[in-house]
Amino acid sequence: MPLESFSALDFETATWSPASVCQVGIVRMENGEIVEKINRLIQPPKNEYFYKNIEVHGIQPDDTKDAPLFEEVWFDFRHLIEDQIVVAHNANFDVNCLRSSLAYYDIVQPDFEVRCTRVIYRRGLAYLSKKYKIPLNHHDAFSDAHACAQLYLMHLRRQALPKTGSLF
C-alpha cells in the first residue's frame, strides 16, 4: 500500500513577527522517498532581527542582506504547499508564518491540509530526534523539516501496519 505524499515544512523567523521569515526548509516525500528539498535563506521585512531570535537559530542580518524576499521565493515552492498535505512540528507556528508572510506580501492564500508531528508524538523535536536517532541541527529550518518528515513517515508506516488481535 503506497504511503501518502506530503511536504514537511519549517520556518525560522527574524523577530517575534510570524511574517519575519528568514529561512524556509521543505522536504517533499512521495511514497516514502524524498523527491524534492528546499533550503533557502529569505530576507525578512527591512532585514530586521531581534537578538533573541539570532540566539536561537544563528541567522543574522548579514546572512540575509542579499537574500530574496519571501514574495520572490514563494513561487519556487508554492507547488509543494498548494493543495498538498503539509506537515510541521508545532504546525500552528509554521502555518502562521506561512499565512502571515503571504498576507504581508498580499499573496493569495492557498488551500492545504495540515498535520502536526508535535500533536502526534506529544514531545519536542529535539527529544524525538534523539530518541529515534534522527540527525538534527535544531533550529536550522531544513534540518527541522527533514526530522519532521522522518517522524511523520514513521507515523504513516505504523498506521499502515495490520492491526493484531482477535475479533472475539
> Burial code of 132-141, b = ≥16 C-beta within 10 A, e = fewer?
eebebeebbb
pLDDT digits (tens, 9 = 90+) for 124-134: 999 999 999 99
pLDDT at 3: 81
* Cell matching residue 88: 510541521
pLDDT in tens, 80-119: 999 999 999 999 999 999 999 999 999 999 999 999 999 9
Give the torsion sign (CA, 116, 84, 38, 73). Answer: negative
The pLDDT of residue 1? 55
The Cα–Cα gap between 160 and 41 comes to 36
What integer pLDDT is reported at residue 136 of this predicted model?
98
pLDDT grade, residue 160 (50/70/90)? Answer: confident
Q: How far is CA 135 from CA 30, 40, 48, 125, in A?
A: 20, 19, 30, 11
The predicted structure's pLDDT at residue 52: 98
Q: What is the pLDDT of residue 30?
A: 96
Gyration radius from the chain CA atoms: 17
The pLDDT of residue 167 is 52
- The pLDDT tens digits of the residues spanning 23-79 come to 999 999 999 999 999 999 999 999 999 999 999 999 999 999 999 999 999 999 999
Please report, rounded to a whole number, the percentage of residues in the chain having pLDDT higher than 70: 95
pLDDT beyond 50 at 168:
no
Starting at the edge strand found earlier in the chain, the sheet holding 33-41 runs 33-41, 21-30, 6-13, 85-88, 113-116
